[in-house]
Amino acid sequence: MHDLLLKNGRVIDPARGFNAIADVAVDGGRIANVAAGIDPAGARRVIDVKGKVVTPGLIDPHVHVYEGFTRLGIHPDVVGVQAGVTALADAGSCGPYTYQGFPVQVLPNIATDLFVFINIARVGLAINPEIESERDIDLDAAIQVVSENRGVVKGVKARMVSPALDIMGMEMPRMALRVARETGTRAMFHIGHRAGNYSAEFIRELLPLLAPGDIITHVYCDHVGGVLDASRKLIPEAREALARGVFMDVGFGQTHFGFDAARRIIDQGVVAHSISSDITGVGRRTTVHSFVEMMTRFLALGFSLEEVMAMSTVNAARVLGIEATHGSLAPGRRADISVLDLRDGEWTVEDTEGASMKTGKAVVPVLTVKGGHVFSPEWGPHPWGWTPNLQPE
């Protein structure tokens, strides 16, 4: 007898190349079977998801959910299981001095899987700017925290911004890379900056230092220090890093994504591995709104549904190094499942530069299964719910 049976959905599992109308059976919190025509008589709970998309639990690899510890924070479940997402990675909200709030206060009280990249700055984003002198980095403490918390901590985050680079130059990212190398993890780098005495050459110095598995986030930003040069051409170091196995992540956020920049970068050969929201409490209200709206933006850019699902599941799992446990509906895996509605309409989505695009499809969460437990979405980030803006008549 199955504990849960999702019937008649369009199951898309990019990790296994599966795309068909099928049922998903769950036993003991794990995927028992994915097949057409599973007998509902042997299930304790049956949910008919005909017309919906059933996919491995969505993964957002760049968020800020350290609620109460930073001004940016939002509760993980609000942007997690209550928003169609089963796993998140907080990208640099805490530093080695402020990490312990996660295992003590946050992780025991949430349903969503949460991973962490600690900030190279010792107190993370508890203050902004987080680095104003060399004393704001404690390299030994960073190495210790990452080493002792490998199950949760996936690496180190550094922001390639002023004033840190004005003060320390390339020594700051080199320190982050040292943490990653000495702990056998990966480094994530925020690129692009709007303010400060900032050199566009920093990105060209950084990229050759990165190894396979390291991550560039905000790859489609339109700022100085991004992967486009002053003539709007892709810097060669970006293509070389991609070929070398460096991951490229979206990191939409409040100021880090332009449709024009995205098109130019994609057309010149750099397609992001993972969609990520860089969502914060403020950003949810003003710009990024939700992970599913990020998926809608990529449909608007011309990506296929299958491509968007891959970027939101198996690719994101690879970026975080959790593909052995996340990002697939293979039988035996933990039952982390997102059920989504691909809603027809005339929708408008915006970037963070003031531009907008129209699209005929919007992704909306229907329900989330986390370890076999079913969660319904909350109201949504907009006054009207989950869908983006309707196009003006």
Q: How confident is the model at residue 4 (pLDDT cuts 50, 70, 90)?
A: very high
Distance CA 184, CA 214 (A): 11
Q: What is the mean pLDDT of residues 228-249?
A: 96
By C-alpha distance, which of 186, 251, 173 is closest to 219? 251
Q: What would the 3-class secondary structure string for the chain be?
A: CECEEEEEEEEEEHHHCEEEEEEEEEECCEEEEEECCCCHHHECCEEECCCCEEEECEEEEEECCCECCECCCCCHHHHCHHHCEEEEEEECCCCCCCCCHHHHHHHHHCCCEEEEEEECCCCHHHCCCCCCCHHHCCHHHHHHHHHHCCCCEEEEEEECCCCHHHHHCCHHHHHHHHHHHHHCCEEEEECCECCCCCCCCHHHHHHHHCCCCCEEECCCCCCECCCECCCCCECHHHHHHHHHCCEEECCCCCCCCCHHHHHHHHHCCCCCCECCCCECHHHHHHCCCCHHHHHHHHHHCCCCHHHHHHHHCHHHHHHHCCCCCCCCCCCCCECEEEEEEEEEEEEEEECCCCCEEEEEEEEEEEEEEECCEEECCCCCCECCECCCEECCC
CA atoms within 13 A on the CB side of 119: 28
Q: What is the pLDDT of residues 106-141, one digit of tens each?
A: 999 999 999 999 999 999 999 999 999 999 999 999
Distance CA 322, CA 333 (A): 12
Q: How confident is the model at residue 99 (pLDDT cuts 50, 70, 90)?
A: very high
Tell me phi and psi for residue 24, to 5 degrees. -125, 120
Query: Is the pLDDT confidence value at 42 over 90?
Result: no
Query: Is the pLDDT confidence value at 195 over 80?
Result: no
| Least trusted range by pLDDT, from 51-60, 192-201, 328-337, 344-353 | 192-201
Query: Is the pLDDT confidence value at 392 over 70?
Result: no
Reading the block at residue 104, the tokens are 């003590």
The mean predicted confidence, pLDDT, of the chain is 96
Q: How confident is the model at residue 198 (pLDDT cuts 50, 70, 90)?
A: low
Q: What is the mean pLDDT of residues 134-155?
A: 98
Q: How confident is the model at residue 200 (pLDDT cuts 50, 70, 90)?
A: confident
Q: Is 88:112 a contact under the CB 8 Å cutoff? A: yes
Q: What is the mean pLDDT of residues 151-156?
A: 98
Length of the chain: 393
Distance CA 342, CA 220 (A): 25
Q: How confident is the model at residue 1 (pLDDT cuts 50, 70, 90)?
A: confident
Q: What is the mean pLDDT of residues 230-255?
A: 97
Query: Is the pLDDT confidence value at 24 over 50?
Result: yes
Cβ–Cβ contacts within 10 Å for residue 50, how many? 9
Q: What is the pLDDT of residues 326-373, one digit of tens each?
A: 999 999 999 999 999 999 999 999 999 999 999 999 999 999 999 999
Q: Can you give the pTM of this predicted structure? A: 0.97
Q: What is the mean pLDDT of residues 277-284?
A: 97
Query: Is the pLDDT confidence value at 196 over 60?
Result: no
Supply the pLDDT for residue 199.
65
Query: Is the pLDDT confidence value at 391 over 80?
Result: no
Supply the pLDDT for residue 393.
43
